């Protein structure tokens, strides 16, 4: 790793079935992020199609991914964006990481589908996210509900991820019957405010978490560091937040509390990820 990598997170709500308008919005905010010195822009889950699984799952996002690649290349900014992906008869919620030249460096299919709407419209991905080096930092992708599973983030960390980029669409459920909804004891705003920083702390990584804006989504998009600090956090409106992924902070955090090297409990996911990282002995 060399120097800090500046990460921008766009919190905004994509209009349902208005991909051209949503793409124009991403293009404009990507230019803004680039002017502010960002190296990567992370956008929210299914922003281009709009987050409405039952309404958008039938249209493949291939053409949208071409346009997203063009936005990355025209701005010289790496871009993380989520689209619908068709593969044969299967439909997936995917996230793509485009390099600043427009090359799609990796694509990840959401493994943990949330609620009946997603489970009826999409299939769950089966492969863990790839770890891709970019700007001296190892980057991996996740999508929304994935980050709420400790095993997911831990497997990515054991595989070498240092920055986890998470497009998300967390609906607002405040636990307050006065907001017009049911009285739920679980406040979804705890995910960006508490769970995301905890995942960053316990896995000694940076997490860039991009949610849709309010009033129907929880907002509070977050960039957290390996100490569990929220380096940048949005409120509930359309907002662009930025923070630096600093390799020196990562090294210091891993010296101070080296959870990964002291890990003794293995899950199948972390065991296979660790095995994949073992170097070959080569010829004897």
Check residue 264 and give its pLDDT. Answer: 75
pLDDT of 120 reads 97
Per-residue pLDDT, 173: 82
pLDDT of residue 269: 54
Q: What is the pLDDT of residue 177?
A: 55
- Kindly provide the b/e burial profile for residues 19-30, where b requires at least 16 CB atoms within 10 angstroms of the residue's own CB: beebbebbbebb
What pLDDT, on the 0 to 100 scale, is given for residue 178? Answer: 55
Note the pTM of the prediction, 2 decimals. Answer: 0.90
**Beta-sheet pairing, 5-11 with 137-141:** unpaired
- Give every residue of the chain whose pLDDT is below 70, as ranges: 1-3, 175-184, 265-284
In whole angstroms, give the CA distance from residue 209 to residue 17.
23
* Site of tokens 């987050």: 51
């Amino acid at each position: 790793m060399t120097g800090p990598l500046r990460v921008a997170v766009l919190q905004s709500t994509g209009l349902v079935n208005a991909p051209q308008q949503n793409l124009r919005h991403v293009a404009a905010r990507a230019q803004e992020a680039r002017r502010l010195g960002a190296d990567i822009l992370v956008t929210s889950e299914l922003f281009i199609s709009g987050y409405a699984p039952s309404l958008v799952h039938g249209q493949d996002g291939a053409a949208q991914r071409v346009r997203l690649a063009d936005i990355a290349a025209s701005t010289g900014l790496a871009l993380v964006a989520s689209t619908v992906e068709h593969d044969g008869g299967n439909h997936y919620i995917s996230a793509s990481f485009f390099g600043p030249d427009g090359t799609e460096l990796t694509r990840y299919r959401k493994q943990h589908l949330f609620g009946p709407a997603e489970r009826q419209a999409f299939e769950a991905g089966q492969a863990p996210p790839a770890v891709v080096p970019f700007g001296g930092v190892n980057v991996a992708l996740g999508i929304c509900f994935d980050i709420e599973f400790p095993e997911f983030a831990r497997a990515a960390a054991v595989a070498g991820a240092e920055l986890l980029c998470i497009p998300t669409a967390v609906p607002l459920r405040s636990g307050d019957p006065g907001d017009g909804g049911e009285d739920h004891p679980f406040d979804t705003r705890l995910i960006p405010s508490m769970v995301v920083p905890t995942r960053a702390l316990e896995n000694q990584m940076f997490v860039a978490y991009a949610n849709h804006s309010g009033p129907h989504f929880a907002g509070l998009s977050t960039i957290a560091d390996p100490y569990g600090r929220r380096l940048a956090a949005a409120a509930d409106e359309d907002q662009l937040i930025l923070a630096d992924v600093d390799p020196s902070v990562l090294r210091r955090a891993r010296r101070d509390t080296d959870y990964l090297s002291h890990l003794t409990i293995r899950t199948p996911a972390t065991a296979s990820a660790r095995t994949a990282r073992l170097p070959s002995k080569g010829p004897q």
